[in-house]
Amino acid sequence: MTPALRLPPPPLPLPIPNPNPNGRKHITPPFLSRPSSTPAPSPFPISSPSAKRRISCSQKRTAPARYAVLGAGFAGLSVAWHLFKHSPRESRVCVDIYDEVGVGGGASGASGGLLHPYSPKAKVLWRGGECWKECLKLLTVAEGAVQAKGLTLDASSFNFDKPIVLRRGILRPATTEKNAEILKENAQNCLQSCTLEVLDGDAAHCRVPNLHVPFNSAIYMPQAMNIHPKKYLQALFLACLNFTEGTTASDCEEREMKLYRLSVSSFHELAGKYDAVIVCLGAKYNTLLELKGKLPLRTCRGVIAQLQLPNLDISGEYPNDSPSILSDAWLAFQGPQSVLMGSTWDWNSRNYSSEVTPEELSKAFEELLPKASTVYPAINRWELAGARAGLRAMPPLTPLGSLPLLGCVNDLVEGRSGCDYWLVGGLGARGLLYHGLLGKLMAHAVISSDATVLPSELTSWKQTKLVGTS
Ligand SMILES: Cc1cc2nc3c(=O)[nH]c(=O)nc-3n(C[C@H](O)[C@H](O)[C@H](O)COP(=O)(O)OP(=O)(O)OC[C@H]3O[C@@H](n4cnc5c(N)ncnc54)[C@H](O)[C@@H]3O)c2cc1C
């Protein structure tokens, strides 16, 4: 198991102090004109709260913008990073992140980390090109944070011994004759930034020795990748801290971030303290009193099994440059002797735990192994080494696909005074792909206090009448 990110003790004595005594009003930022270049990261201690950077331009000191981000998964950390990135250049910004578990405690930390912008039929997903681009940017930011020169962290606090991103590509063998035709046709309209190659059986075997390609056709995505989600989130958290250190900000900026390891059950607990609260609670949105039963989301638990090749079986090692494999079950290779096999789909589960009982694991293993061995029979030689699980928040299917839910939820909060409430939810089974763009869009909406900057496809859920969601 990866050790959890060790943070300073929670800075929060209960009850929650008021970080916004001045009741600051919203600012309308020129975020679109902000220079995009950021100086190279430099040393950063993890003690963010006390390491607040003092502004050098004291005449520009005004009440800071105070934001609360609920949830430190893909959505929450992307929102936090983009709030820092896109707030007006000379403004003061404080972001408090609340997570009952810590960084990556929900579905994000448990996910398979597979990343590409295509549907199972190789169609580009909704705004796939943009999502892909924004996600790659965040991956680069996270990698940069880890590689920062002169890292002053106690190395044992973080486990960055292995890469965050495995750029090995992904391959999907066709599952039927018809499927082979569809994949081939859709591949013609692939993105330039993430190309699709149609391979016959021989070419697929060159990529993955021992692959079974039942219909002599496969789609190969050379730029697709799998990431280590927990390490990535830890690194993105560090990248946010870099803002508070002034290492990615200009001289006149002041940024502050705190992580509170706390469960929030009602907006009232935060009343009067923030200019905006952004809910990024994934499948646990229902634990928030004001949202309970009000969002068109279903839950779906997924279990992932971790397998290892027995030490003596060197001939069975998976090549380092071979792609991960998608099929009815997927195989995300972590190294020559380590692979994640996923994932199950247990609809309407209310089991939020990342722990997997032996019974649940045994059931998942029996379900996944036959599916995976259809395309990669050698997986039968690998042994079970662990498991993890998470709960997806699944949005309704629309003509554009299963799209996340964004929006302002002020109407759900009684007695609201001066604070805006926002939602980033329903990232479904593609949170990694979506989180970069969603975080950016949401940050723009929050900073400008303007919901109209959000795409209508993602806010139209507010017009739908809810039936039987709870
Ligand atoms: C098994 C599995 C495999 C997956 N594989 C992939 C994949 O390969 N690629 C991909 O793109 N997507 C994948 N997904 C989907 C992806 O994980 C989700 O879309 C994504 O994690 C959702 O992110 P989030 O930030 O919205 O929610 P979460 O990651 O669930 O974050 C919510 C956070 O809020 C915290 N929290 C919850 N309630 C409270 C509260 N009341 N107070 C304070 N904090 C609270 C939690 O601790 C958690 O850290 C997978 C999902 C599962 C379950």
Helices and strands, counts by H and E, the chain? 9, 20
**Least confident range of 34-43, 53-62, 250-259:** 34-43
Residue 252: pLDDT over 90: no
Q: How far is the CA of 391 from the centre of ligand 1 (A)?
A: 7
Q: How far is the CA of 390 from the centre of ligand 1 (A)?
A: 7
How high does pLDDT run on average in the chain?
A: 85
Read off the pLDDT band of 247 (50, 70, 90). low
Could you tell me where the DSSP H helices lie in 70-176?
A: 74-86, 107-110, 128-147
What is residue 163's predicted lDDT score, i.e. its pLDDT?
86
**Least confident range of 7-16, 68-77, 152-161, 384-393:** 7-16
Percent of the chain with pLDDT over 70: 82
Q: Domain segments of the chain: what residues?
A: 60-109+229-296+401-463, 165-224+298-394
CA-to-CA dists, residue 24 to 49, 81, 259, 451, angstroms: 20, 21, 21, 19
Could you tell me where the DSSP H helices lie in 148-297?
A: 177-187, 201-207, 229-244
Q: Which CATH class is domain 60-109+229-296+401-463?
A: alpha beta
What is residue 198's predicted lDDT score, i.e. its pLDDT?
98
To test the pocket of ligand 1, the residue of 77, 132, 281, 423 to mutate (highest count of ligand atoms within 8 Å of its CB) is 281
Q: How far is the CA of 106 from the centre of ligand 1 (A)?
A: 4
What does residue 82 show for φ and ψ, rounded to 5 degrees? -70, -30
Between vectors from CA 430 to CA 181 and to CA 307, what angle results, nearest 5°?
Answer: 85
Q: Which of ligand 1's atoms lies nearest the C-alpha of 304?
A: 1
Atom 52 of ligand 1: nearest residue by CA position:
111
What predicted TM-score, i.e. pTM, was given to this entire model? 0.88
Which amino acid is residue 204, in one-letter code?
Answer: A
What is residue 242's predicted lDDT score, i.e. its pLDDT?
87
Residue list, ligand 1 pocket, CB within 6 Å:
70-76, 98-101, 105-108, 110-114, 263-265, 280-284, 287, 302, 304, 342-343, 390, 392, 427-433
Q: How far is the CA of 282 from the centre of ligand 1 (A)?
A: 5
Common-topology check for domains 60-109+229-296+401-463 and 165-224+298-394: no
Fold classification of 165-224+298-394 is D-Amino Acid Oxidase; Chain A, domain 2 (3.30.9)
